[in-house]
Structure 1
Amino acid sequence: MTAPTGPLSRSVNVERLNKDRAEITVEASPEECAALARDFKIPGIRDLVGRFRLGGSLTRLHVGGSVEATVTQVCTVTLEPFEAKVKEPVDVAFTNADILNDTDAEDVELPDPIMNGRIDFGALTAEFLALGLDPYPRKPGVAFEPVTAGEDPLPFADLKALKAKLGGTD
């Protein structure tokens, strides 16, 4: 058995599942949420759940569903922490790793590999949570107000005035 690749790991042998009706649910523990929050460099994650439906065969296994969580992020405008809901849809194709080894196409989008008959649904949950995070989070109701140069003096206006007073040239 291989070691988990991240703080959230739920490796499932998909060869033994009924692909037409299989459903997988991943619920992260508080410890796993805390470890993911550290990895993602955000203040907190709670109530992380991945719900997946499987369809197809091992040559083309489709995984659909969603990942949901409540995250605490830091507002990029006010620098205050705030909570936000994340809900990210999941739509991924997998195939047996042996099939991928036989493919030479470079420009074709290839399915993710099924390694040793297994898919890590914990890692998939963490990946889609990361995709759902806002890279520039803003606290609700906060707007970024750009600084405009209008009536305010320019940074070197005083120096220019002093230079003019002393008889310097522009």
Structure 2
Amino acid sequence: MSEAWTDIVKLHELARGPVSVKLEANEAQRAKIARDLALKSLPSLSAEVTVRPWLDGAELSGRFRAVVEQICGVTLEPFEQPLRGDIEIRVVPAGSPHARPDEEGDVELDMESPDPPDVLESDSIDVAAYVVEHLALEIDPFPRKPGAEFDYQPPPEEMSPFAVLKKLQDPEA
């Protein structure tokens, strides 16, 4: 994801209890995130996340708020849209017995069960990267400015020369 905005929490920091993280991306960071997510701009992005110990890893929970500027797919005009979202994710270190094993063949998915934990590459959790990931999931891939209507009028049907001749012979047709 975006390397422009990072906020690291180490797994060993959770031994003292939950860690609360308040994040607010600055202008340069928002500009880089906007480019990475193919947005016109990102006027604001902030989050409040609590990182708690979970098994041998961590659980992240919180909320983010953002304002994204996109181009309307109908009018091609830029417009801003506020977004909010929840962050709920679990992470475990590499080699954890709680990590989902690499399975080959058929994998059964249970839509009611929680997602398997993410496996960390090191003992560091980049909280900001998870905020950007959840923001990306909330962005409408087909943005439409409020009130924009798609009014397609098919071009008038072109008449063939034979249809014109038939109309001349039979004016009621």
TM-score surpassing 0.5? Answer: yes
State how far apart, in whole Å, the 2-side matches of 1:164 and 1:62 are.
71
Aligned pair in 2 of structure 1 residues 164, 11: CA closer, same or farther (>3 Å)?
same
Counterpart residue identity of residue 103, structure 1: P
The Cα shift of 1:13 comes to 1.0
Q: Please give the residue correspondences for 1:1-170 in structure 2 after superposition, counting only pairs within 5 Å.
A: 6-18=3-15, 20-99=17-96, 103-105=101-103, 107=107, 109-147=115-153, 153-154=156-157, 157-158=158-159, 160=160, 162-165=161-164
SS in 2 for 1:62: strand
Counterpart residue identity of residue 58, structure 2: L
Counterpart residue identity of residue 47, structure 1: S
The Cα shift of 1:87 comes to 0.7
The Cα shift of 1:15 comes to 1.7
Which ranges of structure 1 fall in alignment gaps of 5 or more residues? Answer: none
Task: Report if aligned partners of 1:54, 1:63 keep a CA contact under 8 Å in 2.
Answer: yes
Which ranges of structure 2 fall in alignment gaps of 5 or more residues? Answer: 110-114, 167-173
State how far apart, in whole Å, the 1-side matches of 2:65 and 2:86 are.
9
State how far apart, in whole Å, the 1-side matches of 2:131 and 2:16 are.
19
State how far apart, in whole Å, the 2-side matches of 1:16 and 1:163 are.
83
Give the number of equivalent residue pairs.
Answer: 157
Counterpart residue identity of residue 137, structure 2: L
Deviation digits for residues 74-128 of structure 1 (CA, Å, limit 9, x no counterpart): 1111110011101121111111211167834463753112332110112111111
Aligned pair in 2 of structure 1 residues 83, 104: CA closer, same or farther (>3 Å)?
closer
User: TM-score, normalising length from structure 2?
Assistant: 0.77
The Cα shift of 1:19 comes to 7.1
Task: Report if aligned partners of 2:8, 2:124 keep a CA contact under 8 Å in 1.
Answer: yes
Identity %, equivalent residues: 29
Task: Report if aligned partners of 1:63, 1:91 keep a CA contact under 8 Å in 2.
Answer: yes
Aligned pair in 2 of structure 1 residues 60, 13: CA closer, same or farther (>3 Å)?
closer
Alignment RMSD, CA only? 2.6
